[in-house]
Structure 1
Amino acid sequence: MSKWNLSSVPDQAGRTVVITGANAGIGFAAAAMFAGKGAHVVLACRDPRKAADAIGKIRTMRPSGSVESGPLDLADLDSVAAFAGRFREGHDRLDVLVNNAGVMWSPPSRTVQGFDLQFGTNHLGHFALTGHLLPLLLHTPGARVTTMTSLAQNFGRIDFDDLNWRRRPYSRDAAYSQSKLANMMFVLELQRRLTASGSALAVTAAHPGWTSSELTRHSHPAIRRVSPLVGMKPEVGALGLMRAATDPTAPGGSYWGPRFFFETKGHPSAARISRRAEDTAVAARLWEESAVLTGVTYPLPGRTERATDA
C-alpha cells in the first residue's frame, strides 16, 4: 500500500477553507498545504499580528491558492459569533472547516464566559463555531468538518458533575484529556445527527501523534527538550488532518492519525477510536450540555435544535 502524503491531496482549486489556530504548528502547515493545492484559506487566529506573519510566509511559497485572516478567540463565545458573522457576510460557501486550534496542559484558567480554558477552548469554542457556520456548510456541496483531537482522548472522562473544574482539584492532564475526548465525541455525535437528518455533510477527526509544535509550551521542561528531537515536524504531523479533511474515500465519522509506534509517528492511516468516545448516551448528553453552555442553535435539515430547549 502506498503512503498517503502531500501528493495524495486532491486539487483544492475553487474551494474555501477555514482553519482555526492557523498561524503556527500544524494549523499553519495545513493552511500552507491547502493554499498550495489551490484553495482560498482563511486563517482564523487569536493574534492578528501572528496571523499577518503567517500569511506573509505562505505567500512567499507562491501558492496557487489565496489566503486571508480573521480574528477569532475560541476562549470568547462573542468572538466566535463575530467571526462567523463576518465570514458569512463575506463568503457564499465553506467547503472545509478545520477545528484545529487548542491549548494543552495549561495552568488553571478561565475563558471569558468562565469555562475551564481547555474545555472551553478545545471543545465549546469549536462546538459554537461549527454551529454558527453550519448553514453555510450545509449549503456547500461536498463540504466537510474536520476536528483535531489527540491520543489523550484514550485517557479522558466526561465528568458531568464538574465539566468546568469548579469543585475538583485541578488536573491539567485530566482537563486536557476530557477536552480531547469531547472533541472526538462531538465528531461522532454530529455525524450521527447529520446522517439521521439526511445530510451529506461529512464530519471527520484526526490526531497528530507526537508532533513537535508550540502546543507543548506548557508541558514539562524535559518533554519540551525531547520533543524537537523525536517528534514529527508539523508538516508531517499535519498529514493526518489533511487526509481527514480532503481524502474523498474518508467517510464521515472516520478518524486518522500516524500509523506506527502506537500511532505516534508515520504516514496517516485509520486510527483507533477510544471505547468511551463511542458511548452514544454520553455523547448525546454532552451535546445537550454544550448547547446549553454555548447557547448555539444547530439548524439540522428537518429538525431545529435550540440550546434553550435542551
Structure 2
Amino acid sequence: MNALQIPDLTGRTAVVTGANSGIGLPTARALGRAGAHVVLAVRDLDKGKAAATTVPGSHEVRRLDLAHLASVREFAASWDGDLDLLINNAGVMMAPEGRTKDGFETHFGTNHLGHFALTNLLLPHITDRVVTVSAAAHRWVKGIDFDNLYLAGEYNPRRAYGQSKLANLLFTLELQRRLSDVGSRVRSLAAHPGLAVSNLGPRSGLGAQLGRMLFKIVAQDTEAGAQPTLLAATQDVPGASYAGPDGHSGMRGAPALVGRTAAASDPAAAKRLWAQSAELTGTDFSGVPL
C-alpha cells in the first residue's frame, strides 16, 4: 500500500490523543515529519515522553485522562493560541464492566464523552478540522441505547465498545451540522483503522490469546492503520467524511472514503446523542471561529 502524500504542515499545530501507542504514535510521527508541531496528549506522561523521542520535529507531551472530566477541563484550560488539528484517537476496547471517575460506563465515557467534552472546550481555538477515530465495530450495534447508555444489567464488552464507536460517528455528524449551520470553515471528520495491531482490548484469558494470534495473522501494522486518520487529517475531503481501508470488509487496504451504517447516519439520533452528552459533560457547542 502506498503511503499518503501529506502536504507540508510547517507552522501548524496538532493534538493527538493517545499518541504514545497504537495508531496514535505513527499518526504523530507522520504529522511531525510533515512539519507540524505535535502535542502528544496522553494519560501516562512517562510513556508519552518515551514515545515522543521517536516523533520527528517539534513536539511536546501533555497529560490528558479522557476518563476524568477534570483532566479534560484542565487540558483545555491550559491551551493558548490556535489549534489547527485535533485528532480524537485514544480509546479503550472490550474492557470488563466498569466506570470512569465521573461514573460513566468505561467505553462510553472514555471513547465518546471524554472526546466530546475535549472537542467542545477546545473548539474556540480550532482553525481547521477535528478527526475522531471510530471503528468498523460501530456495525456491531443497531443504535444507541438512549434509555440505558451504560448497559446496566445487560453489559456486554462487545456491545459497549460498538456503541461507543457508533457514538463517535454520530458525534462527527452532528458536529459537522453545527459547524455548517454557523458558517464555520472547521471540518468534522471520522476515520477507522480497519483491523490493525493495537494495545487495546483485554490482555489476559484465552479469548485475549486467541485474539492476539488472529491479529498477527490478518491485521495491518500500526503505520497502515494510521493511514485513514492521516487521510482525514490532511487531505481535502468534505466535512462528515469517513475514511477507512478500501479492502474486503474494511479490514485492510489503502485509505479511502468509506460508508457507514444507517444507524451511524441518523441525524435525529445524532442530535439526541449530542443533547445527552452535553448534559452529562456540562459542555456544549460555542465560540466557534468562522
Structure 2 length-normalised TM: 0.95
Gaps of 5+ in 2: none
Indicate yes or no: 2:164 matched with 1:176: no
Hey, what does 2:214 align to over in structure 1? 226
Q: Would the aligned equivalents of 1:119 and 1:178 in 2 still touch at CA under 8 Å? A: yes
Which residues in structure 2 correspond to 1:192-207 (within 5 Å)? Answer: 192-207=177-192
Indicate yes or no: 2:267 matched with 1:280: yes
Q: Would the aligned equivalents of 1:46 and 1:73 in 2 still touch at CA under 8 Å? A: yes
Question: 1:232-291, CA deviations, whole angstroms, 9 ceiling, x for partnerless residues?
Answer: 00011100000001102x110100000011111011011111100111111111000000
Q: 1:78 aligns with which of 61, 67, 70?
A: 70
Question: 1:188-220, CA deviations, whole angstroms, 9 ceiling, x for partnerless residues?
Answer: 110011111111110110000010110134563
Indicate yes or no: 2:225 matched with 1:247: no
Write the distance in 1 (CA, Å) between the matches of 2:145 and 2:13: 37
Q: Would the aligned equivalents of 2:26 and 2:222 in 1 still touch at CA under 8 Å? A: yes
Hey, what does 1:305 align to over in structure 2? none
Structure 1 length-normalised TM: 0.89
Q: 1:19 aligns with which of 16, 19, 24?
A: 16
TM superposition shift of 1:179: 0.3
Amino acid at match of 2:59: V
Amino acid at match of 1:49: D
Q: Secondary structure at the match of 2:41?
A: strand
Which residues in structure 2 correspond to 1:97-176 (within 5 Å)? Answer: 97-137=86-126, 140=127, 143-156=128-141, 157-166=143-152, 168-176=153-161
TM superposition shift of 1:301: 5.0
Aligned length: 285
Hey, what does 2:53 align to over in structure 1? 56
Write the distance in 2 (CA, Å) between the matches of 1:4 and 1:280: 35
Write the distance in 1 (CA, Å) between the matches of 2:288 and 2:129: 16
Write the distance in 1 (CA, Å) between the matches of 2:288 and 2:226: 32
Q: Secondary structure at the match of 2:201?
A: helix
Write the distance in 2 (CA, Å) between the matches of 1:82 and 1:18: 15
Gaps of 5+ in 1: 303-310
Hey, what does 2:251 align to over in structure 1? 264
Q: Secondary structure at the match of 2:23?
A: helix
Please tell me the root mean square deviation across aligned C-alpha atoms, in Å: 1.4
How many percent identity over aligned positions? Answer: 46
Write the distance in 2 (CA, Å) between the matches of 1:78 and 1:146: 22
Q: Would the aligned equivalents of 1:46 and 1:71 in 2 still touch at CA under 8 Å? A: yes
Amino acid at match of 2:171: F
Write the distance in 1 (CA, Å) between the matches of 2:275 and 2:75: 23
